[in-house]
Chains A and B, each alone.
Chain A
Amino acid sequence: MEFTRPVGGISRARAVNMPLLRKIKQLIKIGLERYNQYKIEYIYTLLFLGVELLFVLMWYGLLGLNGGTLAGWTFPKIAILMFLYNLVNTLVEMVGYYDMRNLLIGGKRAQISILLTKPIHPFLYSSLRYFYLPGLLKALIYTGFIIYIFYAYSITLSLSFFILVIYAFILHGILMYIIPLLYIAYEKNAEFIRYLLESFAYNANMPYTALEGLWGVVFRFVVPIAFMAAIPAFCVDAFCPKYIVTGGVVVLVFLALTKLLSIYAWKRFEAVGG
């Protein structure tokens, strides 16, 4: 906002005269300074990690009672599922999802209008300004745990795993992008759809490949949470051409739907004086 306020009769275009790269660099600096001031965020990060590790250990106990496997899931695959989900979630949400949402609720249309300054897209602006630095620490630790599981259990990685992880990132990113779009279109009334989407997405760390029949289809193709962590983890050491193809189709379809929603949301926002 400090780059865009018009100065007395000068048009907004003329008031914005900083080179793009310098502007981006300044936004990143603001974001980093913001979180470096609050070092307790790093303590929270370690707290969450401790809780999630406890949960992984609980799965270990659960699987131990069931002969080491449940519907084809062994402990290493479950552990990879948990850590992979958290890794993807952390990296995607590092780009300011939470603060983008906060920016949009509560009738802050004026701020969004101000953010609509070229050449930076408002979501990119928010991402750079509110970059969540402690997320990097979490991401590194989750990556470390995943690599440890690979070595400890002598897992031979398959190509399918890497391709499906890319799909998982894209689907998480789509979700992160959709929710602010809904707020742009519907303001606080978007809370309902947000609850719905988050209810599914924030529980993507479950072994959904155990679902067969109609529900298996629903959670693979209609609400593709199975592709957000479960299927990549399940295919960590197996070649899964079926999932690569179907996952690719799902990703393309949802990218197209997101684009349509984006067009609709901005048009609706502008139509009501945004």
Chain B
Amino acid sequence: MFLSVRSAIGGIAIGVKRSLAYPLSILGLLVRSSVLLLLFTLVWNGLVSNNADFLPYFIVAYFFIIPVWWTWTAEEYTQNIREGWTLTITKPLTPFLYHILAKLGELFIEQGILIIAGLIVAAYFGVTIHIITLIEISIILLIWRVAEVYFLSSPSYFVYSTWGISVGFRLTELFLGGLFFPLNLLPSSIQNLLSYIPFYHSGYVMIKAVLTGNLPLFSVAYLLGSSLLLIIIGYGIHKAGWRHFESQGG
């Protein structure tokens, strides 16, 4: 298998067309982010009064940081493997590469629209967003998300569904990554403990970076290192899985 640029662009184009085929779904994503922003800002303001930081924090979290589709990307790949069609129609791209490129095509549209909407909402409420930092963290988070999906989809050849592990990852990221509430509300001892896991850096640190314009290099290095680790582990499992898949007549 070799990478053909034309094929790669074709894969992305398929994703773009898929996304544009259902404009109401895109509207649904905007609605979801808005609802989450509303719910979390209201509830936390009700619980912890006199704190003006919740609104900017959740604007960044729900429009810029939380990816629109990553939870199901691994599961969709599992479904493709289960249906067994991927071998024939994704050449010359590998099935996973095709899958990710198509998803990137969807991402350009859906996440792009979310980011634009987020900038409008932030401007309306007078929240300052550091655009250069936003671009930087978007690239870093994209690498992290691809590594996550690559790792999470690696059991696809052995199990019926990877939905469970994907949702587990997402829930962990939501809770421990500061996407449910700002982690600075916790005691510093707990914050120090959480800083050892990648979700702290992919969530809370990135949100703060967009608001302050200060992107800690340690967090960037930690995320990139974690991504590399996930890719290495995922590669081994994908390779073994592909052998298993082919041995079963896939």
Contact = CB atoms under 8 A, between A and B. Distances in A.
Which of B43, B48, B176 gathers most chain A CB within 10 Å? B43
Interface stretch (B133-141, B164-172, B210-218, B232-240): B164-172
B187 A54 contact: no
Contacts of B36: 199, 203
Interface stretch (B19-27, B86-94, B111-119): B19-27
A61 B46 contact: no
B185 interface: yes
A64 to B, nearest CB: 7
A189 B22 contact: yes
A37 B158 CA distance: 12
B79 to A, nearest CB: 10
B154 to A, nearest CB: 13
B164 A47 contact: yes
Contacts of A47: 164-165, 168
A71 interface: yes
B43 A207 contact: yes
Interface in B160-180: 160-161, 164-165, 167-168, 171-172, 175-176, 180
Interface string B18-47: 000010110111011001100110110011
Interface residues of A, number: 41
A60 to B, nearest CB: 10
Which of B36, B161, B172 gathers most chain A CB within 10 Å? B172
B161 A206 contact: no
Q: Is the interface of A mostly helix, strand, loop or mixed?
A: helix
A196 B32 contact: yes
Contacts of B159: 38, 40
Contacts of B151: none
A70 B176 CA distance: 20
Contact of B190 (A43, A58, A196): A58
A43 B48 CA distance: 36
Contact of A51 (B35, B161, B168, B186): B168
B185 A210 contact: no
A192 B24 contact: yes
B63 interface: no
A188 B18 CA distance: 12
A206 B171 contact: no
A108 B2 CA distance: 36
B190 A211 contact: no
A66 B171 CA distance: 25
Interface of B: 22, 24-25, 27-29, 31-32, 35-36, 39-40, 42-43, 46-48, 159-161, 164-165, 167-168, 171-172, 175-176, 180-181, 185-187, 190
Given A73-B47, A203-B39, 15 more contacts: A38-B160, A45-B164, A51-B175, A58-B176, A70-B47, A71-B47, A191-B28, A192-B25, A195-B28, A196-B28, A196-B31, A200-B35, A207-B46, A211-B46, A212-B46
